[in-house]
């Protein structure tokens, strides 16, 4: 049975990418060797790394603007640490919009003072705070563009005169933004870019080298840049599959094209949530994520019926995170509109049944 994969991450990847990835595990570059068993310093893999970097800058429209691209390991959770190690000298401002922001704050606090410019923690993060001030004398301001768990997303980024750092793990490459507003963007690959195992960092080089602490080599963005992400052996397979996914996106027409598809999916999904009396959305309407729609059954007695209907239709990964409960439809770039249609039909069928 065909699956409709709403998994929050690791999550759906384009079928043609999976096909090519599967082939490369057996025979990469027609060389009769697996991608997994060649040197990361061999020309075919160095080319993959370079091509992946170029695609990132191209898709984000950041070519020739002083940005460097890194493919690292350790997930966004390691970036919580690296951002602080590389940029935090005296004080930084963080916007707290969910579990991931909260964790980023916690890790940065090991190194120095952190100021929460605003938080939606007391409302269990169901909205995005607005109208806060960012002190102009801080080292940087950090925010999370999309909150996978709660289904909220920053629509308008604040004016910011200090370096703007953004965790875009769950919505990178999904919508057009003026990416030059950001000085450092990071994202775990496993939503819109590739398999778990690599983390994208896009950093404006001129913000680096300003802290006084001694940074461990592997955590030092400047060292990683000087070694083209090959300070040590990179996660070869995850980088290759990311490159394939970025190529797929470029061939589709880039972010402008995928944004239209993502908007269609989100409109369909949220219309059903709002019109169907059996369901209610979790996130504040103006802050709803285009990537992750969170919703609950009004009457939990229908849970078993609904879950069975979902399972029978091949729907996978719809469970909400334990801190919100209910359901979460993750509609990343590779999820076809058809999968949302199937889900919406089931929700509508449940209404007829109930």
Q: Footprint of a copy of itself on this chain (CB under 8 A)?
A: 1-3, 5, 7-13, 18-19, 21-23, 25-26, 31-34, 36-40, 73-78, 80-81, 103, 106-107, 110, 188, 190, 194-198, 214, 216-219, 231-238, 241, 314, 316-317
Closest CB 73 distance from a copy of itself, rounded Å = 4
Which strands sit side by side in the sheet containing 327-330, from one edge to the other? 279-281, 292-297, 327-330
- CB nearer to a copy of itself: give 80 or 282: 80
Helix axes 254-275, 337-353, angle to 10 degrees: 0
* Cβ burial 201-231 (10 Å sphere, 16+ → b, else e): bbbbeebbeebeeebeeebbbeebbeebbeb
For the CB of residue 1, give the shortest distance to a copy of itself in the complex, in Å: 7
The least distance separating a copy of itself from the CB of residue 275, rounded to whole angstroms, comes to 29
In sequence order, the 6+-apart residues with CB closer than 8 A to the CB of 114 are 91, 92, 93, 94, 105, 108
Catalytic residue set:
100, 167, 191
Helix (H) / strand (E) element for 264: namely helix 254-275
Between CA 157 and CA 161, with CA 158 as vertex, the angle to 5 degrees is 125
61 phi/psi in degrees, rounded to 5? 60, 45
Show the tokens assigned to 199. 């983390």
Compare residues 103 and 250 and give the one whose CB is closer to a copy of itself: 103
Minimum CB separation from a copy of itself for residue 16, in Å?
A: 12
Which residue, 31 or 113, is less far from a copy of itself as judged by CB? 31
Q: Given the complex with a copy of itself, which of 90 and 213 has the nearer CB atom?
A: 213
């Amino acid at each position: 049975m065909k699956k409709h994969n709403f998994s929050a991450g690791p999550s759906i990847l384009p079928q043609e990418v999976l096909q090519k990835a599967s082939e490369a595990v057996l025979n990469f570059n027609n060389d009769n060797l697996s991608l997994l068993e060649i040197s990361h310093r061999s020309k075919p893999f160095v080319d993959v790394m370079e091509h992946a970097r170029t695609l990132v800058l191209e898709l984000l429209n950041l070519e020739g603007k002083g940005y460097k691209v890194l493919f690292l390991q350790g997930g966004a959770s390691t970036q919580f640490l690296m951002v602080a190690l590389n940029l935090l000298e005296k004080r930084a401002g963080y916007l707290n919009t969910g579990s991931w922001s909260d964790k980023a704050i916690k890790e940065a606090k090991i190194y120095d003072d952190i100021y929460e410019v605003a938080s939606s923690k007391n409302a269990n993060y169901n909205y995005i705070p607005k109208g806060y001030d960012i002190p102009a004398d801080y080292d940087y301001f950090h925010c999370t563009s999309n909150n996978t768990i709660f289904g909220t997303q920053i629509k308008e980024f604040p004016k910011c005169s200090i370096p703007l750092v953004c965790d875009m793990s769950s919505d990178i490459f999904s919508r057009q933004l003026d990416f030059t507003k950001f000085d450092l963007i990071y994202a775990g690959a496993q939503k819109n870019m590739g398999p778990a195992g690599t983390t994208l960092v896009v950093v404006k080089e001129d913000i680096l080298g300003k802290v006084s602490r001694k940074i461990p080599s592997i955590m030092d963005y400047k060292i990683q840049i000087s070694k083209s992400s090959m300070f040590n052996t990179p996660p070869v397979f995850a980088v290759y599959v990311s490159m394939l996914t970025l190529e797929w996106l470029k061939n589709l027409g880039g972010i402008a094209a995928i944004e239209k598809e993502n908007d269609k999916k989100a409109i369909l999904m949220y219309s059903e949530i709002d019109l169907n009396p059996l369901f209610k959305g979790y996130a504040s309407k103006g802050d709803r994520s285009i990537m992750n729609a969170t919703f609950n059954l009004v009457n939990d007695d229908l849970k078993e019926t609904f879950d069975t209907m979902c399972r029978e239709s091949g729907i996978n990964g719809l469970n909400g995170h334990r801190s919100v409960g209910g359901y979460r439809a993750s509609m990343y770039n590779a999820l076809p509109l058809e999968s949302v249609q199937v889900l919406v039909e089931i929700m509508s069928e449940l209404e007829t049944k109930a």
